[in-house]
Amino acid sequence: MGVASDASKPRALARGIPPSVRGGSNEGKDTARSRASFVDARGDARVHLSEMATPELRYGFGANWKDYAETSLNEARIANAVQSLRDLLALETLRGETFLDIGCGSGLFSLAACRLDAARVISFDFDADSVRTSLWLRERERIPEARWSIQQGSVLDAGFMASLPQVAVLYSWGVLHHTGRMWDAIDAAAAKVAPGGRFAISIYNRVERKPDSSAMWWKIKRLYNRSPGFARGLMETAYMANHAATRLITLRNPFSAHTDQAGAGRRGMDFRHDVKDWLGGFPYEYASAGELFEYVHRKHGFHLERLRTGDGNICNEFLFIRPTGT
């Protein structure tokens, strides 16, 4: 399937996630309850969450993904996703390859892998709403299950991970730092990369300077998740007002992030949905690019092929290669 040629004209893809794959939001609820709601909605589903059933403070990414897919996902954003995948993987095509997407969110990047001709795409996410949204996207795009499989599972569940094959291309963008055990999650993911394979991950950068240090963001995110809905709304409004004011005093259009339907320069969600994820994404861990490189290189022996980094609260992007013969 090729990249849509009409990328200059954003077209709403979503007619609404149909009732068969609709589910309640698990935002801010504990994992035991989110697991239960998934089993209720899809009794035939495979559930591998034994390790993560302990109640804990956890942001429900999937509800945000579902809303994004219903309201904002269009062909231009899919084209951006395809291009960002090409850039990070340093590949023009995935023809003949198996692509494993850990923490697939809306399924957008798994879809991008299909458009890059991957022979097989394997996606999973911990969050039931993410799984439903990905299933819905696959159905919309008429991609057969045999080519794109989607499951609910956790990268921290050893039994579940053992059921997955080693792959030539493993992609996990913005996920492993939200598991609650980032270094264990990195180990579990790295083990699924075949010799000679690509390991493409992105991890939140460590920022020490105040006031917007990573430690401060940890507190903000925890506060957001502990807050009732109206307080979350206030925090989102405050964030957006601050963003607009900063752009205004630097003589830039304060509203461009809201009006840009094509998502120019953005790899995933639109600004409105991203703000919720930035404030809410919890559990939350981080590492400097150097710390991450040292860990993956020394512990797993992978070589760093590509790195995109900066000095703020961004997600550093890494492309590692597992040497052949290891």
Ligand X SMILES: C[S@@+](CC[C@H](N)C(=O)[O-])C[C@H]1O[C@@H](n2cnc3c(N)ncnc32)[C@H](O)[C@@H]1O
Choice between 200 and 235, CB closer to ligand X: 200
Using CB atoms, what's the residue nearest to ligand X?
A: 105
Rounded CA separation 112/169 (Å): 13
Distances from the Cα of 267 to the Cα of 16, 76, 298, 302, angstroms: 22, 11, 30, 26
Choice between 72 and 179, CB closer to ligand X: 179
Choice between 67 and 277, CB closer to ligand X: 277
Instruction: Answer yes or no: are the C-beta atoms of 28 and 133 closer than 8 Å.
Output: no
Write out the residues near ligand X by the rule CB under 6 A.
61-62, 102-105, 108-109, 125-127, 130, 154-156, 173-175, 178-179, 268, 277, 281
Distances from the Cα of 112 to the Cα of 1, 11, 92, 311, angstroms: 10, 17, 12, 28
Choice between 71 and 254, CB closer to ligand X: 71
198 in helix, strand or coil? strand
Q: Can you tell me which residue has the tokens 């590949």?
A: 91
Choice between 248 and 314, CB closer to ligand X: 314
Q: Report the nearest approach of ligand X to the CB of residue 322 (Å).
A: 20
Instruction: Answer yes or no: are the C-beta atoms of 17 and 133 closer than 8 Å.
Output: yes
Q: Report the nearest approach of ligand X to the CB of residue 123 (Å).
A: 9
The one-character DSSP state at 158 is H
Choice between 173 and 224, CB closer to ligand X: 173
Rounded CA separation 285/60 (Å): 16
The tokens for 226 are 């502990």
Distances from the Cα of 10 to the Cα of 6, 7, 80, 107, 303, angstroms: 8, 6, 11, 19, 38
Rounded CA separation 250/261 (Å): 23
Choice between 61 and 302, CB closer to ligand X: 61
Rounded CA separation 78/14 (Å): 13
Q: Can you tell me which residue has the tokens 């159905």?
A: 139
